[in-house]
Amino acid sequence: MAFKLLPSTDKAALARLMRSWSADVVALGNGRPVPGDTAPELASANVALTTTVGFGPRVFELAGNKPAGLDDLPVMRHDRLRDEWSGGDLLILVGADDELSVVHAVRRFVADAKPFAVPVWRQTGFWNSTGPDGKPVTGRNLFGQVDGTGNPAVGTPEFDATVWAADGSTTVVVRRIKLNLDTWDELTRSEQERAVGRKLSTGAPLTGTAEHDELNLAARDADGRPAIAANAHARLSHHSENDGRRIFRKGLNYVHDTGTNRESGLIFLSYQADIAGQFLPLLARLDAADALNEWTTTIGSAVFAIPPGFHPTGWIGEKLLG
């Protein structure tokens, strides 16, 4: 959920809200109700609830110290952005194994924000990262693709270099991407695989056999054409084709329906140290040439800085707002 700051909310007021939200983050993460909770029984233990708070560009107009590159993204040629899914001054990103717990937590953040900020959008998504045998898997989007294989692995030097700025902060881009399942379903499986450059069965590159095999971007097929096409998503987004630029991406599937108007897609979250330096060139490249553009339309876009984690005696954004 994203919020817009009320005109009366200055730096000191925002600091008060962050103190209050910090206590909420801790209580809800431990399955405890928050002070003044109107539905305390909906706080559940053992649901792995986590909350991430982000600051939109406007927060740094109040507080100064804007991170380099934290600006609303320029509109891409394929974008069809709607106000109702775009922008925002504050982000709360709540995940859990139980949707009721998420909805309860969001309601508490909204209630505590009331004197300071009002909701502008809420996006609800789901992701299954557990296989039928109970083991972790990368997970699949609504196109049926294994989605996220190219990420740097959490805890590796590549991950740290991709995600963390020098001060321990990061940034997140939230893009709401509508998927045209009807026209996608008209393709053959090999057409679908060619658009991505990976196999639907395992997520392996078309040049490999296992999900995490490296792409062989030089390989040619029997007809002498590139085995991974020039406009394949996996090629265009690969760091070796982007001067080493990487992001850490996390998708959430969504469905959104109003009567006969059915919509499905991906809430795409990209984490990186520097949006302008890492994400934006990649986005521009994909917008210009990605084969997948034919079946995808971005309808929402927002950017946020995520301050470093806080200590038990501290609060979210303490360094910026304290």
In the region spanning residues 82 to 101, those forming contacts with its own copies, defined by CB under 8 A, are 82-85, 98-101
The answer to the question of residue 120 lying near its own copies (CB under 8 A) is: yes
Q: Which residues contact 292 (CB under 8 A, 6 or more apart)?
A: 195, 196, 233, 286
Minimum distance between the CB of residue 40 and its own copies, rounded to whole angstroms? 8
Q: Binding residue for its own copies (CB under 8 A) from 181, 276, 284, 289? A: 181
Strand, coil or helix: what is 50? Answer: strand
H helix or E strand, kind and range, residue 63: helix 57-63
Q: Which residues contact 79 (CB under 8 A, 6 or more apart)?
A: 287, 297, 298, 299, 301
Q: Binding residue for its own copies (CB under 8 A) from 255, 281, 288, 322? A: 255
The answer to the question of residue 48 lying near its own copies (CB under 8 A) is: no
The answer to the question of residue 50 lying near its own copies (CB under 8 A) is: no
Task: Output the CA–CA distances (angstroms, integers) from residue 68 to 57, 163, 236, 274, 307, in the order listed.
Answer: 11, 14, 25, 7, 14
Q: Binding residue for its own copies (CB under 8 A) from 7, 157, 259, 312? A: 259
The answer to the question of residue 144 lying near its own copies (CB under 8 A) is: yes
| CA-based nearest residue to 304, from 71, 56, 92, 69 | 56
The answer to the question of residue 160 lying near its own copies (CB under 8 A) is: no
Minimum distance between the CB of residue 42 and its own copies, rounded to whole angstroms? 5
Helices (H), 66-213: 99-113, 157-163, 181-184, 189-196
Rounded distance between C-alpha atoms, residue 78 and residue 309, angstroms:
35
Q: Binding residue for its own copies (CB under 8 A) from 69, 119, 152, 308? A: 119
Q: Binding residue for its own copies (CB under 8 A) from 257, 311, 312, 313? A: 257
Strand, coil or helix: what is 69? Answer: coil
Which pair of tokens denotes residue 228? 């991974």
Catalytic residue among 133, 147, 213, 274: 147
In the region spanning residues 232 to 251, those forming contacts with its own copies, defined by CB under 8 A, are none
Minimum distance between the CB of residue 95 and its own copies, rounded to whole angstroms? 14
Q: In sequence order, what are the beta bridge partners of 272?
A: 171
Site for its own copies (CB under 8 A): how many residues? 50
Residue 274 annotated to the active site:
no
Residues designated as active site: 147
Binding-site ranges for its own copies (CB under 8 A): 31, 38-42, 44-47, 82-85, 98-101, 103, 107, 111, 118-124, 126-128, 132, 140, 142-144, 181, 184-185, 200-201, 253, 255-260, 262, 264
